[in-house]
Structure 1
Amino acid sequence: MHLHNVSLPFAELLGLTLGALAYGVYLVLFVISMYLFLHQRDPGRDAAAFTRGIGVPRPSLSRRVGGAARIPIILASFLLFSTTTTAYSILVYRSFQGLLFFQGGPDAYFLGVIDASATAQTTFFALSVVIGDFMILYRLWAVWRTLYIIIPPALSVIGLFVSFIMYSGGAGKFTVSTLNTLITIGTIFILVTNIYCTGEFWVAT
C-alpha cells in the first residue's frame, strides 16, 4: 500500500500507534530519570560521614521533591511531562471520538471538526514543544553563560510560541493553507533552535 493512498482512519490509527510508542519511551525515561535524581546521594557528604563513623540521615521524599521543584530544569521536566501527557490523552480521546462515535464519520470529524478538544490538543502540544525548546535554551545558557550566544535561539523560541498561538487562535477562522503555513513556520523555528543549540554544544565540548 502506498502511503499517499492510505485512508484517513488508517492515518489516524498509525499516528495513534506511533504516538503510543513514542510516549511509552518518554514515560519510561522520565520515570527513571526522576527516580535517579530523587534518590541520588552526595558522595562528599557520605565520605565525610563514613570518616566520622556516623550514618547520613536521608531527607524525606517530600523534602526531596520540594527541593527538586526549585531546580529550573527539574521543574521544566515536570511541566513537560504534564503537558505531553495531557496532549496525548486528548489525542486518544479524539481518535476514539472520530473513529467510533461521530455520526458523520471519521473523515468529516478529523477534517472538519474544530472543537474544544482540538484546540486543547494543539495548545498542549505547542506548550510541550516550547517547554522542550526552553529546556535546551537553558542548558545552552548553563554551558556558555554568554548572552549573545543564546539570543538567536531565544528569538527562535519566541517565534515558535507566537506561531503556535496564531495557529490555536485561528484554527476555526484561517484557511487550511494559512494553517499549513503556520505549521511550516513553527517547524522551521524548531529546527533552527535544535540545530543551533546542538552546534553550540559541540563547539563548547
Structure 2
Amino acid sequence: MAEIDDPDADLLARLARGEPQAARELVERKLPRMLGLAQRLLGNRAEAEEVAQEGLVRAWQQVGHWRPGQARFDTWLHEVVLNLCRDRLRRRAVRREEALDEHAEAAAFADPGPTPEQQLDHAQHSARIAAALDALPPRQREALVLHYYQALPQAEAAALMGVSVDALESLLARARRSLRARLQDASTSAIAAPADPGGSPP
C-alpha cells in the first residue's frame, strides 16, 4: 500500500520532539477549521470552542504514537472532532427528553424574532442559512459541512461518515434539496409578513 503524503508530517515530527513553536503552529493551523466544523454541527459557539480545543489536546497527546504515511493527520483530526460533536448532540438529545417539559422545550426552539432593521443583508442571509442548516437531519448536515464547508474530498468525507461515496452523494443531493426548500420558505415568509399596523394609511 502506497504511503499517503501528509502536509502536516513535518509539524507532527516537530511536535513529537517537543518543540514549543510546533504546538503554537498546530493551534494556528488547525483550530479555525475545527472550530468552524464544530460550530456548524453544534450551532453553539461556546460548545464549539470546547470541542475544538479538546480535539487539539487529543491530537497533541497522541502525536508520539502517530504513524506517518498511513493516514492524513487532518482527516484523523476531523474524525476526532466529528465524534466529539456527535457525543454532544446525543447528550443534548437525552437531556431534552429527560429534563425539558413542553414549555421549556418550546422556549428552547422558539423563533428568536426578526433581525433589527439596520442589520446588513448578508448577515440576515447568513442567519437564514445557519437556521436551515441546523434544521437538516444530522447525517445530511454532516455531509454538507464536511464536503462544502470543510472542503474535504468526497472520498474522505465518506470515510469519516462510514458510508460509500455513492451514499455520500445521495446525502448531499437530499441535503441540497432540503436546504433550498427551507431557504425558499424563509424568503417567502419574509415577503408575506404583514406590514406594521402602526404605519401610516395609504
TM-score normalised according to structure 2 size: 0.34
Larger radius of gyration: 1
Structure showing greater relative contact order (alpha-carbon pairs closer than 8 Å, 6 or more residues apart): 2
Higher helix share: 1
TM-score normalised according to structure 1 size: 0.34
